[in-house]
Amino acid sequence: MDKNDSLLQARQKLMDYLRLNSLRNTQERIAVLDFIYSNESSVSAEELSRHMSEKSRLRVSRATVYNSLELFENAGLVRKILVNDQLLYERTDRNRGTIRLICGGCGKTTEMNDERVRRQIGEMRTRRFTMTGWTLNAYGLCSKCYASLKRKQKKLMNNKTDIDKK
Ligand SMILES: [Zn+2]
């Protein structure tokens, strides 16, 4: 499916949801949805409102961004995920799952791809549960933080040997 198709499908899904719930459609909501569905990465409400106030030709208030996100979530268009204690929103049309490597030192988060893991989780059988997506968080240290930890350990060891010599 190309980028435009998924965007159009998301718009249609929103229209259907609004009609079913007797809610009115607004250009602002569409603009917020378009932004989410033209990006692959997850976004925080803060980032989203910043983007909407800087880049959008419409005036989209923070309240509208927050309301829209809640509405999209109810409509099954976005889901909330927690990354490093930060609440992010991601589109739901990607059921490919996300593998994240999270550094406990600096908090840097990298997404990685491992087809074997994806396939295994995709084949996983869940009882009385329909899986619509998944996130796998791996915790550890990035190479910079690991090197800095090693340096500190070495320094500590050297100090200790100095003390032992005295
Ligand atoms: Zn780090």
pLDDT at 1 > cutoff 70: no
Mean pLDDT computed over 74-97: 84
For residue 59, what pLDDT band results from cuts at 50, 70 and 90?
A: confident
CA 61/CA 58 separation, integer angstroms? 9
Dihedral sign (CA 81, 42, 136, 115): positive
Identify whether residues 83 and 113 lie together within a single domain.
no
Half-sphere exposure of residue 92, counting CA atoms within 13 Å on the CB side? 17
75, 14 in Cβ contact below 8 A? yes
Position 135 scores a pLDDT of 83
Identify whether residues 6 and 86 lie together within a single domain.
yes
Identify whether residues 86 and 101 lie together within a single domain.
no
Position 14 scores a pLDDT of 95
38 Cα to the center of ligand 1, angstroms: 29
Could you count the other beta carbons within 10 Å of the beta carbon of residue 24? 7
Q: Of 30, 60, 93, which residue sits at a domain end?
A: 93
Position 96 scores a pLDDT of 65
Query: If you search the block for the tokens 């932004």, which residue do you land on?
Result: 35
Where is average pLDDT lowest: 11-20, 23-32, 124-133, 136-145? 124-133
Instruction: Kindly report the CATH number assigned to the domain that includes residue 124.
Output: 3.30.1490.190
79 Cα to the center of ligand 1, angstroms: 27
Please state, for a pLDDT cut of 70, what percent of the chain lies above it.
Answer: 95
Identify whether residues 74 and 116 lie together within a single domain.
no
What is the domain count for the chain? Answer: 2
Position 73 scores a pLDDT of 95
Identify whether residues 30 and 77 lie together within a single domain.
yes
136 Cα to the center of ligand 1, angstroms: 18
Position 67 scores a pLDDT of 94
> Mean pLDDT score of the chain, rounded to an integer?
88
Identify whether residues 40 and 86 lie together within a single domain.
yes
Identify whether residues 102 and 80 lie together within a single domain.
no
Neighbours of ion ligand 1 (CB under 5 A): 103, 105-106, 108, 142, 145
Position 47 scores a pLDDT of 92
Burial class of 54 by CB neighbour count within 10 A (0 to 12, 13 to 18, 19+) = exposed
Position 66 scores a pLDDT of 94
Write out the residue range of the structural domain in which residue 153 sits: 95-166
Q: Of 93, 110, 139, which residue sits at a domain end?
A: 93
120 Cα to the center of ligand 1, angstroms: 28
Q: Of 45, 69, 93, which residue sits at a domain end?
A: 93
Identify whether residues 39 and 76 lie together within a single domain.
yes
Instruction: Kindly report the CATH number assigned to the domain that includes residue 43.
Output: 1.10.10.10
114 Cα to the center of ligand 1, angstroms: 21
What is the number of helices (H) and of strands (E) in the chain? Answer: 6, 5
Mean pLDDT computed over 46-71: 89
Identify whether residues 115 and 160 lie together within a single domain.
yes
Identify whether residues 58 and 116 lie together within a single domain.
no
pLDDT at 11 > cutoff 90: yes
34 Cα to the center of ligand 1, angstroms: 33
For residue 119, what pLDDT band results from cuts at 50, 70 and 90?
A: confident
115 Cα to the center of ligand 1, angstroms: 25
Identify whether residues 51 and 130 lie together within a single domain.
no
Identify whether residues 40 and 63 lie together within a single domain.
yes
102 Cα to the center of ligand 1, angstroms: 8
pLDDT at 163 > cutoff 80: no
